[in-house]
């Protein structure tokens, strides 16, 4: 008896909670680290990028006003869903990165743990970043943090799952919504992660994922006037400079690419959250 022929998955984009193909009809061949054909991924167009920004903007009021407790629970739910698909992600990371199954298992476990770690930050970041300010006068004065808005994220080219989770979680846990440009070379785990996100009670549009040419898509997002911030972690040096220049047009907050290679297994610290937070200070007189 012949071996059963596998049913392959079509990898599409993730916009507003749905999985559309690129409106341009473009796709590109994705290969494993050994050069074997894996799948055709969608090659997002400028229109796709704009649609993704519109979806992220639409999702922002609801997500940013959800209680931190609720956001934390949803991130924890993402971790649960990821854990349940462990074997699938191990296989995809082995294909994408060429690492051993054992190493891939460690990376997937770390991605799950990273989500759990960030989930717990949702209702604590305000306590360490806010302040009651002792002004010299009869005023109540309180500083609190709020999400910046729509963040465009250029995911790292390496670490197709752990790196990706490590840039998405800190952006959304505080109430931002995002448009993520997936690793160009290894985009497939990002779309599988989208399937996890789509089944984790995460409202549609909070995370939108585009696959394709990062050099094309990132500048479109960096120049988009309804994007509030850009995370250039995964951008090549020349693309990053171009994006930073474009970001100046509406004074986007910019998280520049790291100077050294990031160890995604290390303690991430709070910087990736605080880069996309605004501080609001409210004054009120005290009197009878």
Partner 1 sequence: MFEYAPAPESREIVDIKPSYGLFIGGEWVDSQGENHHKTINPASEEVLAEVAWATEADVDRAVRAARAAFTTWSALPGSERAKYIFRIARIIQERSRELAVLETLDNGKPIRESRDVDLPLVAAHFFYYAGWADKLRYAGFGRRTTDGHSGEDPRPLGVAGQVIPWNFPLLMLAWKIAPALACGNTVVLKPAETTPLTALAFADICRQADLPPGVVNIVTGAGETGAALVNHPGVDKVAFTGSTEVGRMIARSVAGTGKRLSLELGGKAANIVFEDAPLDQAVEGIVNGIFFNQGHVCCAGSRLLVQESVADEVLDALKRRLSTLRLGDPMDKNTDIGAINSAAQLAKIRELAEAGVNEGAERWSPACPIPERGFWFPPTVFTGVAQSHRIAREEIFGPVLSVLTFRTPAEAVEKANNTPYGLSAGIWTEKGSRILWMADRLRAGVVWANTFNRFDPTSPFGGYKESGYGREGGRHGLEAYLAV
* CA atoms in the 13 A half-sphere facing the CB of 127: 6
By CB under 8 A, is residue 278 in contact with partner 1?
A: yes
Site for partner 1 (CB under 8 A): which residue of 103, 139, 213, 236? Answer: 139
Structural Rg of the chain based on CA atoms: 20
Contact by Cβ (8 Å): 38, 6: no
By CB under 8 A, is residue 283 in contact with partner 1?
A: yes
Contact by Cβ (8 Å): 178, 149: no
By CB under 8 A, is residue 35 in contact with partner 1?
A: no
Dihedral pair phi/psi, residue 138, rounded to 5°: -80, 65
Min dist CB 25 to partner 1, Å, is 34
Q: Where are the alpha helices (DSSP H) in the chain?
A: 46-65, 68-84, 86-97, 101-121, 125-129, 162-173, 188-198, 214-222, 237-247, 271-274
Give the C-alpha separation, 170 to 49, whole Å: 21
Give the C-alpha separation, 248 to 266, whole Å: 31
Contact string 228-267 vs partner 1 (x = CB under 8 A): x-----------xx--xx-xxxxx-x--x--xx-----xx
Range 144-163, binding partner 1 (CB under 8 A): 148
Contact string 60-79 vs partner 1 (x = CB under 8 A): -----x--------------
Dihedral pair phi/psi, residue 169, rounded to 5°: -55, -45
Residues constituting the chain: 288
Min dist CB 281 to partner 1, Å, is 5
In the bound state with partner 1, the residue whose beta carbon lies nearer, of 199 and 250, is 250
Classify the phi-psi angles of 246: left when phi > 0, otherwise alpha if psi is within -120 to 50, otherwise beta: alpha
Min dist CB 90 to partner 1, Å, is 26
Sign of the CA dihedral running 16, 48, 240, 252 = negative
In the bound state with partner 1, the residue whose beta carbon lies nearer, of 7 and 259, is 259
Site for partner 1 (CB under 8 A): which residue of 6, 127, 136, 288? Answer: 136
Give the C-alpha separation, 47 to 66, whole Å: 29
By CB under 8 A, is residue 33 in contact with partner 1?
A: no
Give the C-alpha separation, 248 to 150, whole Å: 16
By CB under 8 A, is residue 101 in contact with partner 1?
A: no
In the bound state with partner 1, the residue whose beta carbon lies nearer, of 36 and 267, is 267
Q: Which span (41-49, 101-109, 136-144, 157-165) binds partner 1, by CB under 8 A?
A: 136-144
In the bound state with partner 1, the residue whose beta carbon lies nearer, of 160 and 268, is 268
Residues that bind partner 1 in the complex, under the rule CB under 8 A: 65, 128, 131, 133-137, 139, 141, 143, 148, 228, 240-241, 244-245, 247-251, 253, 256, 259-260, 266-271, 278-285
């Amino acid at each position: 008896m012949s071996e059963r022929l596998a049913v392959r998955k079509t990898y599409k984009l993730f916009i507003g909670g749905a999985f559309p193909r690129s409106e341009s009809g473009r796709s590109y061949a994705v290969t494993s680290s050994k050069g074997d054909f894996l799948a055709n991924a969608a090659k997002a167009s400028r229109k796709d990028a704009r649609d993704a920004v519109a979806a992220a903007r639409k999702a922002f009021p609801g997500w940013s006003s959800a209680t931190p407790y609720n956001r934390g629970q949803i991130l924890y739910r993402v971790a649960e869903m990821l854990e349940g698909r462990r074997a699938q992600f191990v296989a995809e990371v082995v294909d994408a990165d060429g690492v051993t199954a054992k190493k891939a298992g460690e990376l997937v476990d770390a991605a799950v743990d990273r989500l759990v770690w960030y989930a717990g930050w949702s209702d604590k970041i305000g306590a360490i970043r806010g302040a009651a300010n002792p002004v010299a006068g009869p005023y109540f004065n309180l500083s609190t943090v709020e999400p910046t808005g729509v963040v465009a994220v250029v995911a790292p080219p390496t670490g197709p799952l752990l790196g990706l989770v490590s840039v998405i979680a800190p952006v959304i846990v505080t109430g931002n919504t995002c448009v993520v440009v997936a690793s160009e070379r290894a985009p497939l785990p990002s779309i599988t992660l989208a399937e996890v996100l789509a089944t984790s009670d995460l409202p549609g549009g909070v995370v939108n994922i585009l696959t394709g040419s990062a050099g094309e898509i990132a500048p479109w997002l960096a120049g988009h006037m309804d994007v509030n911030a850009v995370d250039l972690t995964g951008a090549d040096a020349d693309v990053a400079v171009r994006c930073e220049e474009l970001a100046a047009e509406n004074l986007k907050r910019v998280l520049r690419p790291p100077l050294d290679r990031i160890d995604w297994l290390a303690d991430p610290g709070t910087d990736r959250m605080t880069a996309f937070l605004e501080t609001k200070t409210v004054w009120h007189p005290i009197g009878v």
